[in-house]
Each structure stands twice: as structure tokens, then as C-alpha cells.
Amino acid sequence: MAFSVTGVHHVGITVRDMQRSFEWYSRMFGVEPGPVHHGEGPDLERGVQAPGAKLSFSMIRIGNVNIEFLQYHEPEGRDWDRTNGDVGSAHVCLVVDDMDRAYAELIERGAVFNGPPVTLTDGDLAGSRWAYLRDPDGIQLEIWQYPTT
């Protein structure tokens, strides 16, 4: 018997300070965090491959996707120091309806972008626009606008 994948439940991001991340994501994108849960014990340690793991976790729902924030209280992790070109690097891309307005408003709210929006000029994605920014932990995010017709 075969199984099938029916969707994506969440994308997880480990953060230094969950409250700071909640405040930032709420200010930037107008989202509300869900309840905070806590985990520890041998099953968690084995599952996340972190001896002595104690963590808090919570979900924020954006559209049809959950973003899970995890804050490890033990062991203390290293700060994010990867680039997009490093193996294993990932990012969350959020769809916006108006790139120019989103870019301007996010800057007004304190967002730091890697550069101004880029417009794709050829191929199947021609007319799409994107821009990368970083959250308070330096984790890459992207905003994306589909071509307007």
C-alpha cells in the first residue's frame, strides 16, 4: 500500500526570542500568534536530535500556511549565520497583492530589505516581483507579487 502527501502543515523557524519574533511578525504582517506550548523529555530530545532539549513553540497562520516558531531554552543555539547559497538554507515567501505598497509600508514599519524589488522579465514567471528581507534573527524572508494583468 502506498501513502500520499496531502499538504504542508507548517514551516518551522527556530528563533532566539519568541516574544520578540511575535511582536515583529505581528507589526510587519498583521498576524496573531497562537497559543504557546512547551516541550521537553527523551522523545523530544531524540526527535529533534538535541540532548537536553527544552523548548517553547507556537504557530502563526498566514493564509493557508502555518509558520511554527520554536524557541530552544536548552540547549542554547548559535545565531543564524547562513546565506541563501548555503546548503540547507530555506526561506518563507509571502505573497503580497501590491509590491510597491508592501515594500514601502514594511520599510516604514522597520523592515530591512536586502535590496529593492526585482521584476522577472522572461520565462513562465515574467512580470512577477520579489524582494528579500530579514527578520530580527537575520532569517531570510521573501515577499512575492504575481504578475498583474
pTM above 0.85, yes or no: yes
Burial class (CB in 10 A: 0-12, 13-18, 19+), 21: buried
Q: How far is C-alpha 71 from the chain's CA centre?
A: 14
Distance CA 98, CA 129 (A): 10
pLDDT, tens digit, for every residue of 94-139?
Answer: 999 999 999 999 999 999 999 999 999 999 999 999 999 999 999 9
pLDDT, tens digit, for every residue of 54-102?
Answer: 999 999 998 888 999 999 999 988 888 888 888 888 999 999 999 999 9
**For residue 148, pLDDT beyond 90:** no
Residue type, 138: G
**pLDDT score of 127:** 96
